Structure 1
Amino acid sequence: MVDASRVECALPDSIDGLAAWMESSTASVGARYQEYLAERKAGAPRRFFQNRSHALAFLRGVAPTKMVDGAWLYGVLRHWQNPRYADLVRTYIEELGDGRADRNHVLLFRQLLATHGLEHWQDLPDDHYTQGAIQLALAAHTDALLPEVIGFNLGYEQLPLHLPITAYELNELGIDPYYFTLHVTVDNADTGHALRAVQAVQAAMPRVGDPDAFWQRVRNGFRLNELGASTNSVIGGFDIQDEVERIFQRKSVAGHGAHSDYCRVAGRSVNDWLSEPSQIPGFLQALEQSGWIVRNAPPQESRFWRLLDGDHAEMFGVFSTYELQVIQDWLRGDASADGAALVPPSAAPVAPEGTTPLRRPRSFRAQQRLDSARNASAAAAPSPESMLDVDVDALQVQMAQAPDSQTLARLLVAEMAPSRHWMPAGLLATQRFVALAHV
């Protein structure tokens, strides 16, 4: 809170100007997004993502925040019977997708990470964890920090310009933008979370106590949104050379004793090069100088790439799909701005033996329409009750044994915690809570 107090606050000095502030902010974002679209239509390059690797690195970089999406409101849930918090409770329920797997925000983001080989994000710098830690702290101390929770929610639920631009460019690069487009729609200022956030402030303002002091605490909570790594700083901080070096440094821990000594680079064995992560920049430079790596050229021209990809690739499986994408774009240099994605050999068109061709990405929505036409009878997601899950079985027994609605509500709220709501038992609990509380 001390750090937040030093941040300039965009909110008006008085709550009386809050509704007008929201309307002005929404109009400004809409106008600037239309300017962006006009620039792109006129031929301007993507504003955020240099290539596909950049976009995927962004998803990895914001994972600590997205994995606890909505968590700041969890502490309000146990006060669901107080009508003053109805908008906050409803917002949390919608963050959980009303218990639907295809709308639960955390589950959607986890699936997005898994699709692109981005599960390993735990070594990110500390500032990438700040926002997630703030959200969890607010969830754990809601009763003491209610005005700050409401203020944080007010800031988080306003539509920022980066959200529609991110969705647009992810789609353009063939990456599912649904997690982001979902937030564009639910955060709208007409009937969505942005409006509810304003209404929540108005409903919670003291009628008996000191409304001015309460409003100042709301403003402090609003400022918390500005701490730590942000969407814009994560995007702006990407450097593909640094990312390649990080990937190789990570691999060196497991790989420094796994190579034979017959292959030498610049007079040193590969095991020797990999023995210290700090040697990786020099190792990459030596690979380039010795011809193993050819920069600013198709990947297949690099002997090293042919060890990773294609028939009989001796290092197949060492790098994840994300890591291969980064290496591919690094090798291609400026040509990677076309957004070409990796194509698994089994799905690729005919190409020279031992190589994987590149392709310009079809937009995600175009690919989705094509896939839907091919798979018109695709099965719907199973209900939580139908899944083989010991927690679901135990929860069903406990729900049946609950002696009254208050006991049942406490049981359900426990399963709707930030660490659990996205799992089958949490989805089931959310569905039952919606039915119980009529929210």
Structure 2
Amino acid sequence: MTALTRLESRPAHERAILTAGSIKPVYEQLLLSDDIEHQRALGQSFLEAQLAQAADLPEDMPRDLSALQTFVEQHCADVARQYADYLQQRKDGGPRQFFTNKAHALFFLQAVAPTKLVDGAWLYGLLRHWHDPRFEGLICTYLEELGDGNPAQNHVVIYRKLLAEHGLLDNAFIPDERYLQGALQLALGYCSDDFLPEVIGYNLGYEQLPLHLLISAYELSELGIDPYYFTLHVTIDNASTGHAQKAVQSVLQLLPVEGDREDFLRRVALGYRLNDLGQGSRTIIESFNLYGELLSMLERKRPFGQHMHSDFCRFEGRTVNQWLSSPEQLPGFLSAMENKGWIKRHQDPQASRFWQLVEGDGAAMFGVFSPYEKQLLHDWIAGDWRAERAPAAVRRGNRAAAEPPVPVNDPDVQSLHATLKGLAADEQMQVLIPWLSAHRHAHPAGLMATRRFIELKSGFR
């Protein structure tokens, strides 16, 4: 699920790739295009550029195959030990290590969304090998990323719901470089025929349990944010029977019998290093600046609000519209509201008149700010103030595992049913596979297609 990086959760080397503004268009074309040949050509050129960058990174993966399982198990044991140390520090009264406040956590969830929303995509191209038992572990991993067709377990569905719950659906302001890992995953998925060793190596690195996943889940729960997406990966990526173990077995099972093993392993190791390109989770977390994010948010709002206020209320001789007339005045506007007592920093935000306009019964600015935007305001006003009662930690019970009902009136579901009718099992598989792509599998027809794919695949055993 995440890269096998150094235990402090930061890749040893992070590389800026391509030019500014060039990665998101690649990501979107790979995700959304209906032209498979274009996707493959674009993916190939993109991968070649990234592999050239990865070749300069240190190689951590052992070339001795007999040491590979031990290497992964030792990493898992080290992570478990460091997490135990973290828990002891917290038990002894230590502060959170990742998220200073809830706004910080929400910032992180949105920043990593381009990767989380294509979870598992690097394995998509292997589905056509469903009849080859050597690919069983990799295909099983991909299908589990898709929740085996159950929306309650589908990783993309879960993450979309998490984003929606906190008003984080707008991705227009995510920096370009944060699309890199998602673009890599999509490119590998469309180019697996030509880059199979690299896919295997990337999977080996990505499916190890990282320390930051455990800490993130713990601290998200503390802040009242559902950590299920993260805790799900803690269990599913284990080195005993989970995705990490399957990743090791896949290296061994797909190793050439008489072909060039040395070159194959060189390429596996190169694919493994792709995980260290771009910004890691720790770097993203450390990049958060509450005041800077607040000003950026207000600047995005400013063009829509600069002519919407009456001239009745003035701060230091200026109307609200005048304060909002240019972005340079936003810091001064916040200071002016502080000076007038409308904002009382480092106190309960409920004591601030400005916050009362934003949140609560009869709030004059109800609906102006999204949940995340309100959280930025709340946490900046609160500053050093802490509520006497912390948010209740989120503890979710078992999710429903039963097969969900098919929305029979969905036009894509109806179309897929009609297309499958009368086809032989092999022909059905060819129809179903496109519906298991990163762009489609979380839709109702994609979920249905995933379940049917698994059913047919099981019937051939």
Q: Does TM, scored on the shorter chain, surpass 0.5?
A: yes
| 1:395 pairs with one of 389, 392, 416 | 416
1:14-53 to structure 2, matched below 5 A, reads 14-53=64-103
Which residue of structure 1 aligns with residue 184 of structure 2? 134
Say whether residues 1:167 and 2:217 are aligned partners: yes
| 1:306 pairs with one of 326, 336, 356 | 356
1:381-392 to structure 2, matched below 5 A, reads 383-392=404-413
- The amino acid that maps onto 2:394 is F
Task: Provide the C-alpha distance between the structure 2 equivalents of 1:43 and 1:383, rounded to a whole number of angstroms.
Answer: 43
Offset at 1:210? Answer: 0.9
- The amino acid that maps onto 1:92 is Y
Per-residue CA shift, 1:103-160, capped at 9, x if unaligned? Answer: 0000000011111111123311112111111111111211111111111110110000
Task: Provide the C-alpha distance between the structure 1 equivalents of 2:339 and 2:408, rounded to a whole number of angstroms.
Answer: 55
1:274-423 to structure 2, matched below 5 A, reads 274-336=324-386, 359-365=389-395, 368=396, 383-402=404-423, 404-423=424-443
| 1:91 pairs with one of 133, 141, 144 | 141
Per-residue CA shift, 1:193-240, capped at 9, x if unaligned? Answer: 000001111111111211111111111111111111221112111111
Task: Provide the C-alpha distance between the structure 1 equivalents of 2:133 and 2:188, rounded to a whole number of angstroms.
Answer: 20
Offset at 1:380? Answer: 8.8
Task: Provide the C-alpha distance between the structure 1 equivalents of 2:162 and 2:402, rounded to a whole number of angstroms.
Answer: 16
Gap runs ≥5 in structure 1: 339-357, 373-377
- The amino acid that maps onto 2:435 is E
Offset at 1:6? Answer: 2.1
Matched position secondary structure for 1:312: coil
- Indicate the percent of aligned positions where both proteins have the same amino acid: 50
Does the C-alpha gap of structure 1 residues 265 and 387 become closer, same or farther in structure 2, counting only changes over 3 Å? farther
Offset at 1:312? Answer: 2.5
Offset at 1:309? Answer: 1.7
Does the C-alpha gap of structure 1 residues 155 and 382 become closer, same or farther in structure 2, counting only changes over 3 Å? closer
- The amino acid that maps onto 1:141 is C
With normalisation by structure 2, the TM-score equals 0.84
Task: Provide the C-alpha distance between the structure 1 equivalents of 2:360 and 2:325, rounded to a whole number of angstroms.
Answer: 28
Matched position secondary structure for 2:106: helix
Say whether residues 1:250 and 2:300 are aligned partners: yes
Say whether residues 1:214 and 2:235 are aligned partners: no
Gap runs ≥5 in structure 2: 1-50
Matched position secondary structure for 1:271: helix
> How many aligned positions are there?
409
Offset at 1:398? Answer: 1.2
Task: Provide the C-alpha distance between the structure 2 equivalents of 1:201 and 1:279, rounded to a whole number of angstroms.
Answer: 58
Per-residue CA shift, 1:252-280, capped at 9, x if unaligned? Answer: 13222222233333333323332333443
Does the C-alpha gap of structure 1 residues 137 and 380 become closer, same or farther in structure 2, counting only changes over 3 Å? closer
Which residue of structure 1 aligns with residue 131 of structure 2? 81
1:227-266 to structure 2, matched below 5 A, reads 227-266=277-316
Task: Provide the C-alpha distance between the structure 1 equivalents of 2:435 and 2:112, rounded to a whole number of angstroms.
Answer: 25
Matched position secondary structure for 1:335: coil
User: After TM superposition, what 4+ stretches of structure 1 lie above 6 angstroms from structure 2?
Assistant: 378-382
1:90-169 to structure 2, matched below 5 A, reads 90-169=140-219
Matched position secondary structure for 1:228: coil
Does the C-alpha gap of structure 1 residues 146 and 279 become closer, same or farther in structure 2, counting only changes over 3 Å? farther
Offset at 1:80? Answer: 1.4
Contact 2:167 2:371 in 1 (8 A): yes
Matched position secondary structure for 2:421: helix
Which residue of structure 1 aligns with residue 119 of structure 2? 69
Does the C-alpha gap of structure 1 residues 398 and 384 become closer, same or farther in structure 2, counting only changes over 3 Å? farther
Which residue of structure 2 aligns with residue 12 of structure 1? 62
- The amino acid that maps onto 1:97 is G
CA RMSD of aligned residues (A): 2.0
Offset at 1:43? Answer: 1.4
Please, which moves more after superposition, 236-245 or 278-287? 278-287
Does the C-alpha gap of structure 1 residues 174 and 23 become closer, same or farther in structure 2, counting only changes over 3 Å? same
Does the C-alpha gap of structure 1 residues 211 and 282 become closer, same or farther in structure 2, counting only changes over 3 Å? farther
Task: Provide the C-alpha distance between the structure 2 equivalents of 1:147 and 1:217, rounded to a whole number of angstroms.
Answer: 6
- The amino acid that maps onto 1:47 is Q
- The amino acid that maps onto 1:414 is P
- The amino acid that maps onto 1:84 is R
Determine which structure has greater relative contact order: mean sequence separation of CA pairs < 8 Å that are 6+ residues apart, divided by chain length: 2
- The amino acid that maps onto 1:395 is L
Please, which moves more after superposition, 201-210 or 255-264? 255-264
Does the C-alpha gap of structure 1 residues 380 and 133 become closer, same or farther in structure 2, counting only changes over 3 Å? closer
